[in-house]
Amino acid sequence: MVTIEQKLELFNKLLNQSMNLKYQEELDRLEKDIQSKVQISKDMIDKQAQEIEDRATKRAESKYAENISKSKVVMKRDIMSLKEKYFDILMNSLKIRLQDFVRSNEYKTYLYKNISKLNNELNKYDKLDLVIHLSQLDFNKYGDYITKEISKKHSISLRTIDIIGGFIAEIPSKSIKFDLSINSVLDDNKTFIMQTLFGSLKAGEFND
């Protein structure tokens, strides 16, 4: 026969087992809840860290691209400045060579060809008052020659201007000019000279 004491002891054991089970279940649930919250916090922190890293990367890439762009602009400006310097040097060199040419024996032949071109144009007109603009050097050396070679039916006066060589013929009454100066040849060919020079520089990439 089971005594009251034995029944109480059995009840206590069952109660303790039940409490231990509930306690363990509560601990398990609490542990899972904590782990879940920790994981959520970790994911949130990881996400925020990734966003900060992405923003920093984008800022760095943007700054890098900006610096590269600025460097390219500076480089292009420096190259253009260098090209312009070379162009000025080339043009000055050409002018010096042309100044030597107008002092050569071949220059008179050049003048004669230009006078022939002018006479072909003047044949379209009757007697005219014609003004010939030329350099001081040509005025002194070829003034009489130019006057004699131009069609005799026109009245001619000579005036000096600051040009390398050749001449500019003007018909004041008709506001017509025939620019046969060496300066006009240079001006007309500036684009070609520039393209040729820059093309050569680009092909060589300044590799001497």
| pTM higher than the cut 0.95 | no
Q: Tell me the average pLDDT of the chain.
A: 79
DSSP state, residue 154: S
Locate 5 and state its tokens. 């004491």
Question: Taken in order 175, 176, 182, 185, is the CA torsion positive or negative?
Answer: positive
pLDDT reported for residue 206: 46
Structure-model confidence comparison of residues 90 and 99, the more confident one: 99
- Average pLDDT for 126-153: 91
Judged against a pLDDT cut of 60, whether residue 26 lies above it is answered with no
Q: List the 155-160 sheet strands across, edge first.
A: 155-160, 129-134, 166-171, 176-181
Structure-model confidence comparison of residues 33 and 179, the more confident one: 179
pLDDT reported for residue 71: 74
Burial of residue 163 (CB within 10 Å: 0-12, 13-18, 19+) is buried
